[in-house]
Amino acid sequence: MSSFRDRPRATGSSEAWGSLTGQLIRPGDPDYETARTVWNAMVDRRPAVVARPTTAVDVAQAVRFGRERDLEIGVKGGGHSVAGLAVPKGGLLIDLSLLGSVRVAADQQRAWVGGGARLGELDRASQAFGLATTAGNISHTGVGGLTLGGGMGWLARQFGLSCDNVESYEMVTADGSVVRTSESENADLFWGLRGGGGNFGVVTEFVFRLHPVGTRVLLAEFFYEVDAAGGAIRRWAEFLPSAPRQATLTAWAGQTPAGRPLASVGYVWVGDPDEGRRLLPTFREFGPAVNEKIAEMSYLKLQTMDDEPARYGLRRYWKGHYLRELSDGAIQAFLSVARSGAGLLHGNLQSYGGAIGEVGADETAFSQRDAVVEFVASTAWTDPAEDETEIAAARRYGAAVEPFASGVYINTLADEGDSGVRRAYRAEQLRRLADLKAHYDPDNVFHLNHNIAPASGRAHTA
């Protein structure tokens, strides 16, 4: 491993690595394997070189260096894209892990967050003051990819998606310039970064609004035999529109490790747990549960409790959909997985609404404000020989729910390609995104993502 500063000047016109502070890693260097590893163990691509910048200026130099040598460029935040989109085969991987600092100003209720920070770092720094902003549910996920695609979490019904809580961004463009954007500065770009993914450049800093949420939460989950679960989920769905915003409603369908088909409904309450307990009788009326789990815990515990099941090192696949309503057909499709005998494959529902739906449909690139719930089918396994079977089972389950779907979350796309991107955005928003892409990245340098082709530029064809 060498620092940019140590590296000999490149030939040709570039002095790209001169006088910089980040790391440069090549195959065989001690950090190479860590740098190219992502969450999904199915992804095994080997970049020719990895840059680990420590400043926005470093990032700009890395982008210029890659372009001058015609290297395909990938940008890794937390590495949690299930398709491992960030990692180029050959080419230059810009690994943002050294840009992971988080600074909180409690009096201003703001956090300055590096483009490579993990959710856990943001949560820990904010909770030291009883503050938080919307972040996803697994602490090793990257703030970068999650926020740029939207960002759903237990606080979203109260405060909006993660992207709704970003006040400003610092971003390095495809030509190596550093730009800032907010409601009042480069407002078009600000619109596009709120849901448009990593298409427009490398975000080196997010400034988040924080909220005083306290430090305690309540979780409730009620389990049903699958044949009895349909009625409970119907009542759960009817309750969704009137549920308090502190509550994010959840449902699950799958099998126990012993192979017993099971389903559950529940909620996560962020706020005073005693207030949260007042919802328990409503849920108990949904139907006689075979078991229930009620737990009070810290917000930080909530945000890390699934880190281990969601750990690195497993082979993964998933399919997601947004739904505007849960018809009886949709509920039966959701429950079908529990009866399918498909092992670790399971389905989750998570409620939207509240503050998410109050942001105007055209205010952000995120296009799915009218979703009532998000459905995700996911599975995990270890033996490469099972790849085909596991992926096929998840696709079948996803296909069973798709007829009831209204769209898809860009961050839950896997290998759907262009058709997935078209489902994630309304046509008008996609046109606006393509125009923005043509302005900021006409050559589609940043295409290792759920790609939006530039309107009047060259689409990447590799």
Ligand X SMILES: Cc1cc2nc3c(=O)[nH]c(=O)nc-3n(C[C@H](O)[C@H](O)[C@H](O)COP(=O)(O)OP(=O)(O)OC[C@H]3O[C@@H](n4cnc5c(N)ncnc54)[C@H](O)[C@@H]3O)c2cc1C
From 138-146, 210-218, 226-234, 256-264, give the range in contact with ligand X by CB under 6 A.
138-146
Using CB under 6 A as the binding rule, whether residue 53 contacts ligand X is answered as no
Using CB under 6 A as the binding rule, whether residue 86 contacts ligand X is answered as yes
What type of residue is 244? P
DSSP 209: E
Strand partners, 19: none
Using CB under 6 A as the binding rule, whether residue 138 contacts ligand X is answered as yes
- DSSP for 391-435, written as a single string: HHHHHHHHHHHGGG--B--GGG--S-THHHHHHHS-HHHHHHHHH
| Min CB(235)–ligand X separation in Å | 25
From 60-68, 72-80, 215-223, 267-275, give the range in contact with ligand X by CB under 6 A.
72-80
Among 47, 53, 66, 79, binds ligand X (CB under 6 A): 79
- How do 178-182 and 247-255 pair as beta strands? unpaired
On the CB side of 83, CA atoms within 13 Å amount to 17
Among 144, 196, 320, 398, binds ligand X (CB under 6 A): 144
| Min CB(138)–ligand X separation in Å | 4
Do 286 and 228 meet the contact criterion of CB atoms below 8 Å apart?
no
Compute how many other C-beta atoms are within 10 angstroms of the C-beta atom of residue 105.
12
Q: How far apart are CA 333 and CA 12, in angstroms?
A: 59
- Indicate the residue among 123 and 226 with the shorter CB distance to ligand X: 123
- Indicate the residue among 246 and 449 with the shorter CB distance to ligand X: 449
Among 91, 153, 196, 407, binds ligand X (CB under 6 A): 153
Among 66, 88, 145, 353, binds ligand X (CB under 6 A): 145
- Indicate the residue among 232 and 268 with the shorter CB distance to ligand X: 268
Using CB under 6 A as the binding rule, whether residue 303 contacts ligand X is answered as no
C-alpha separations of 300 from 80, 108, 119, 166, 351 in Å: 20, 21, 11, 21, 21
- Indicate the residue among 246 and 412 with the shorter CB distance to ligand X: 412
Using CB under 6 A as the binding rule, whether residue 73 contacts ligand X is answered as no
On the CB side of 37, CA atoms within 13 Å amount to 12
- Indicate the residue among 317 and 397 with the shorter CB distance to ligand X: 317
Q: How far apart are CA 205 and CA 379, in angstroms?
A: 33
From 63-71, 194-202, 390-398, 421-429, give the range in contact with ligand X by CB under 6 A.
194-202
- Indicate the residue among 149 and 287 with the shorter CB distance to ligand X: 149
Do 28 and 53 meet the contact criterion of CB atoms below 8 Å apart?
no
Structure tokens at 134: 């919307």
| Min CB(274)–ligand X separation in Å | 26
Of 5, 13, 117, 1, the closest CA to residue 58 belongs to 5
Task: Report helix, strand or coil for 224.
Answer: strand
From 80-88, 102-110, 230-238, 428-436, give the range in contact with ligand X by CB under 6 A.
80-88
Residue number closest to ligand X, CB atom: 145
- How do 49-52 and 92-95 pair as beta strands? parallel
| Min CB(451)–ligand X separation in Å | 9
Do 350 and 150 meet the contact criterion of CB atoms below 8 Å apart?
no
Using CB under 6 A as the binding rule, whether residue 77 contacts ligand X is answered as yes
Using CB under 6 A as the binding rule, whether residue 203 contacts ligand X is answered as yes
Site string (398-417) toward ligand X, x via CB under 6 A: -------------x------
What share of residues in the chain are helix, strand, coil (percent, to 5)? 30, 25, 45
Given the rule CB under 6 A, which residues bind ligand X?
38-39, 75-81, 85-86, 96, 115, 136-138, 141-142, 144-146, 148-153, 197-198, 202-203, 310, 411, 448-449
